[in-house]
Amino acid sequence: MTTNENRKASNGSGEGTPQIDLEVLLNILFAGRTKILFALLVTVGATALLTLLAPRTYESSVKLMAEPRREQTPYQFEIRSYQDRKVFLETVKELLISQSVLKAAVAQIDKRPEDTVTAHDAEKLSRQILLQSRASLTRSLIGGDGIGETNTFFVTVRDSNPQRAATVANTIVEKYLELNSSIRSKQVQEATRSLRTSVDETTRQVKDAHAALVAFESEAGPLLPELMNIDKANIRVFPELEDLRTAFEDGEITLAERRERVEVLEEAFADTEDGAFPVLPEFAYEAIPALRELTTRVAELNMKANSLLPFYLEESREIQNIRTELELTRKDILKHASALVASEQQAVKMLEASQAARSKSLEGYDEKLIKLSQLNSRYQELKRDYSAKARALDSQIQSLAEADSSAAEKLGGQATITVIDKAVENGTPVSPRPLVNMLVALVVGLLLGLLAVLLGHYTNPVFVHPRQVELTTGLPVVGILTEEKS
């Protein structure tokens, strides 16, 4: 059967729709294999060219863990846990793409003032951000698919520069944490504003009291150490004062003794005006041992004169020699005694000068003690005032801390966002993906080739297999005539 006859047979009777079984279909496809191969080559080639020309896109992610605040009642938390997590993480998502975070991130990345960043710049940056949960099967844009399925999620940024992708991801998370902290801080401060005002006022009063105490301590000058020790039982005020008083009292006793010795010596000299020998006290002999020898010599000469008087006259040379020696000895005694008197009088003068200096020092200490007593009264009053205000401030600060904690708990301040892994530079591009693209191109090219062959056959049908004739005419095929090429 020739090709023309096939066409006529196919178009001639017009009875019903031609039926094609699997074997016929395979023959049709085999006959159109050139078209299929051509579609495959064109599709794969175009895909390969586009893959080579397409810009490389790199991806970098920050891994975060978000823990919402737990309710005080565990049972209530279990009932509301999924919804709480969902709401909390959706709030995190909204903050991450807020204008405040995006503008601050753009300003830091581009190193320019934040007020020069436009909404268009922020919107442009938001298109680079992906937010995904580990439980999500597919990547999603910032729309939030998969958020709330787990407390761990990723902030991913895609960019043509791998280093910039990591920088942008880290910066966005950093600015988000700063914004979140600022919001919580403002909420807590607003909730405790009145108490914080009281703390500020008390702090000012404490500073004033401390300044007054410091000024007083500066005014006290050298008396400050004594003021600090005046209330301490084991520390004496002016410890040198007791030694000074003891020295003054001992000096008075010594001065009295010295004066008494001078009076005794002066009385002894008064008895020598008629030429008699002075009767010296014992301390004179102790002070000048030579006086004892001279006194002994006088006694010996007197004994010698008395022993000679029965035998010699008073005017005799023997007696006169003894009298002359006695007179010389007397003069020596008076000389030594005068020196002793002068020495004692000098000692008395020195003791009087020393006692006068000690008395003046004692008077100065008396004035200091009077002033110290006056200063101590004021000092204790200032210290009590400062201590009372400091205790009040400590109490208010503790109350403020408790109020801050309570406000933070009520406002969700106990919710935490923890950065588990920071974004790092990833040199492997995520787009384009040559292998995936080529596989898709093969499938698409094959489908396009098959579609072209089938459409071509149905728009211009021909018999390519004897079975088509049987299906079309309902008659068996007796034989096939081949067309020879001449």
Q: What is the pLDDT of residues 79-95, one digit of tens each?
A: 345 566 667 667 777 77
Tens of pLDDT, residue by residue over 390-431, are: 999 898 888 888 877 776 665 554 457 788 888 888 888 888
Report d(CA 380, CA 228) in Å as an integer. 10
Q: Residues 254, 402: one domain? A: yes
The reported pLDDT for the residue numbered 232 is: 61
Band the pLDDT of 8: cuts 50, 70, 90: very low
SS3 state of residue 156: strand
**Which of residues 343, 375, 410 is at a domain's end?**
410
Q: To the nearest whole number, what is the mean pLDDT of the chain?
A: 77
Q: Residues 180, 298: one domain? A: no
Tens of pLDDT, residue by residue over 94-150, are: 777 888 888 888 888 888 888 888 888 888 888 888 776 653 333 333 334 444 455
Asked if the model's pLDDT at residue 338 lies above 50, the reply is yes
Beta strands in 96-186 (DSSP E): 129-133, 152-159
Q: Residues 187, 246: one domain? A: no
Q: Residues 151, 278: one domain? A: no
Tens of pLDDT, residue by residue over 231-247, are: 665 556 677 778 888 88
The reported pLDDT for the residue numbered 439 is: 92
Asked if the model's pLDDT at residue 201 lies above 50, the reply is yes
139 in a domain, yes or no?
A: yes
375 in a domain, yes or no?
A: yes
**Which of residues 393, 410, 427 is at a domain's end?**
410
169 in a domain, yes or no?
A: yes
Q: Residues 264, 136: one domain? A: no
Q: At what angle do helices 162-191 and 74-96 cross, to 10 degrees?
A: 120
471 in a domain, yes or no?
A: no
Q: Residues 304, 397: one domain? A: yes
**Which of residues 410, 429, 453 is at a domain's end?**
410
Asked if the model's pLDDT at residue 12 lies above 60, the reply is no
224 in a domain, yes or no?
A: no
Q: Residues 166, 295: one domain? A: no
Q: Residues 154, 287: one domain? A: no
Q: At what angle do helices 99-110 and 119-126 cross, to 10 degrees?
A: 90
Q: Which helix (H) or strand (E) holds 31?
A: helix 22-31
167 in a domain, yes or no?
A: yes
Q: Residues 168, 253: one domain? A: no
Give percent above pLDDT 90 in the chain.
4
Tens of pLDDT, residue by residue over 269-299, are: 776 655 666 777 888 888 888 888 888 888 8
The reported pLDDT for the residue numbered 222 is: 72
Band the pLDDT of 444: cuts 50, 70, 90: very high
Q: Residues 184, 247: one domain? A: no
69 in a domain, yes or no?
A: yes
The reported pLDDT for the residue numbered 443 is: 92
Asked if the model's pLDDT at residue 337 lies above 60, the reply is yes
Report d(CA 253, CA 306) in Å as an integer. 45
154 in a domain, yes or no?
A: yes
User: Which structural domain, as residue segments, surrounds residue 123?
Assistant: 58-191
Q: How many domains does the chain have?
A: 2
With 0-12 / 13-18 / 19 or more C-beta atoms within 10 angstroms meaning exposed / middle / buried, residue 53 is: exposed
Cis omega (within 30 of 0) for bond into 113: no
Q: Residues 252, 401: one domain? A: yes
Q: Which region among 52-56, 66-70, 415-419 has the lowest average model confidence (pLDDT)? A: 66-70
pLDDT, average across residues 422-445: 87
The reported pLDDT for the residue numbered 16 is: 43
Query: pTM for this one?
Result: 0.45
Q: Residues 172, 279: one domain? A: no
